[in-house]
Amino acid sequence: METELVTSEARRARAGVLYALAAFFMWGLAVPLHFKLVSAVPALQILAQRIVWASVFALGLILVGRQWRKLVEALTSGRWLLLLCLSAGLIAINWLVYIWAVNSGHLVQTSLGYFINPLLNVVLGVLFLRERLSPAQVAACVIAGLGVLVLAISSGEMPWVALVLACSFGCYGLVRKIVPVAPLIGFCTESLLLTPLALGYLAWAAANGQSVAFQGDWSLDALLILTGLSTALPLIWFAAAAQRLKLSTIGLLQYLAPSGQLALGVLAYDEAFGWIDALAFGLIWIALAIYTISALRSAPPVPEPENRLENGLRLAEKGIPTAR
């Protein structure tokens, strides 16, 4: 009996690792490659298409999960709806800058942004949630700040792509943390709030002859439709991984995504990465190592979730990147 239980847990853990690897592979390699394939489309049109099709897939998940009542409650909640409008605006900024950066040769900066993000979450927690930092976390934030400063001095300008991505996603996570709405419901609500603007922009582009989509290139159209799937699918895989793995394991695996973006930018697209960049990234990696070790030592045990899908998605709001 005990042997069967151990075997079952081992299989569960192996499945969790596979789901996590699939999710972070999507965010680190497949999603940026996907956007590269539609680089002929302006970034704002890709964003609009992604919003529309993400709404379709999110509604499909709501339908399968029979959670229509929760969605209606979120859409009619007054104060919470206002905050979800704010989070929707933040994630739209994040998506737009990410799409533009990928298709403009700034994959290295996107990876920097998502390496910085967990450390920025710590700072936001102190500023807005009155959380306390351990000495190790303070040291991590200072070292990461030095890394950003090195890049700014060497290039003569701040790495704005990385900072906008980190700040927009960090603030998005902060807003979602204080809104008592289930993650899947919140994601669907945000997508639906953005959809009228997206459809309006697409209609305007079509009326003015600027629309690139649905002009006879069916392969391009299919790729644009699939942006909704590439948004939802890794989220589902991540939720499945979170059901089966410890939060500490997920926390370590999350750095695979920006690592993949960095490797893709340098090795596949020949983006510049000199010794100054290596020094700056080295400082940030040291900061992340300090932060991660500190977090693992102080992490409380994770309770068994009542609703595995929702609790799995909820982990995405604790500093783990999901909104690529």
Q: Give the confidence band of 86 by pLDDT, cuts at 50, 70, 90.
A: very high
Q: What is the pLDDT of residue 272?
A: 87
Identity of the amino acid at 42: P
26-30, 288-292, 305-309: least confident range:
305-309
Do you know the residue count of the chain? Answer: 324
Q: How far apart are CA 187 and CA 59, in angstroms?
A: 10
Domain regions of the chain by residue span: 2-317
Report the share of the chain in percent with pLDDT over 90: 38
pLDDT tens, 8-61? 777 777 888 888 888 889 999 999 999 999 998 999 999 999 999 999 998 988
Separation of CA 219 from chain center: 26
> Is the Cα torsion angle 70, 74, 78, 83 positive or negative in sign?
positive
Q: Please calculate the CA angle 215-220-223 and round it to the nearest 5 degrees.
A: 135
Across the range 55-82, mean pLDDT stands at 88
Q: Does residue 305 have a pLDDT over 80?
A: no
Q: Does residue 295 have a pLDDT over 90?
A: no
Q: Give the confidence band of 324 by pLDDT, cuts at 50, 70, 90.
A: low
Q: How far apart are CA 94 and CA 299, in angstroms?
A: 28
Q: What is the pLDDT of residue 32?
A: 94
CB-CB neighbours of 254 under 10 Å:
26
Q: What is the pLDDT of residue 266?
A: 92
Q: What is the DSSP letter of 85?
A: H
Q: Does residue 102 have a pLDDT over 60?
A: yes
Whether 21 and 250 have beta carbons less than 8 Å apart is answered as no
Q: Does residue 323 have a pLDDT over 60?
A: no
Q: Which of 128, 233, 107, 228 is nearest to 171 (CA)?
A: 128
Q: Does residue 164 have a pLDDT over 90?
A: yes
Q: Give the confidence band of 301 by pLDDT, cuts at 50, 70, 90.
A: low
Q: Does residue 310 have a pLDDT over 70?
A: no
Across the range 139-150, mean pLDDT stands at 89
Whether 32 and 107 have beta carbons less than 8 Å apart is answered as yes
Q: What is the DSSP letter of 181?
A: S
Identity of the amino acid at 105: G
Across the range 293-308, mean pLDDT stands at 59
| Whole-Å CA distances, 124 to 34, 171, 177, 200, 293 | 32, 8, 11, 34, 20
Whether 229 and 53 have beta carbons less than 8 Å apart is answered as yes
pLDDT tens, 201-215? 999 999 998 888 888
- 201 against 176, higher pLDDT: 201
- The DSSP line for 212-242 is -TTSS-HHHHHHHHHHHHHHHHHHHHHHHHH
Burial class (CB in 10 A: 0-12, 13-18, 19+), 193: buried
Q: Does residue 138 have a pLDDT over 80?
A: yes
Q: What is the pLDDT of residue 157?
A: 76
Q: Which of 115, 110, 101, 102 is nearest to 147 (CA)?
A: 115
| Cβ-Cβ contacts under 8 Å for 95 (sequence gap 6 or more) | 47, 50, 51, 323
Residue with tokens 């991540």: 238
Q: What is the pLDDT of residue 54?
A: 92
For 9-19, b/e burial (b = at least 16 CB within 10 A) is eeeeeeebeeb
Token pair, residue 42, equals: 């302006």
- 97 against 216, higher pLDDT: 97
| Whole-Å CA distances, 60 to 55, 56, 65, 228 | 8, 6, 9, 11
Report the share of the chain in percent with pLDDT over 70: 86
Mean confidence (pLDDT) of the chain? 84
pLDDT tens, 209-264? 888 888 878 999 999 999 988 988 887 787 677 777 776 577 667 788 899 999 99
Q: What is the pLDDT of residue 306?
A: 45
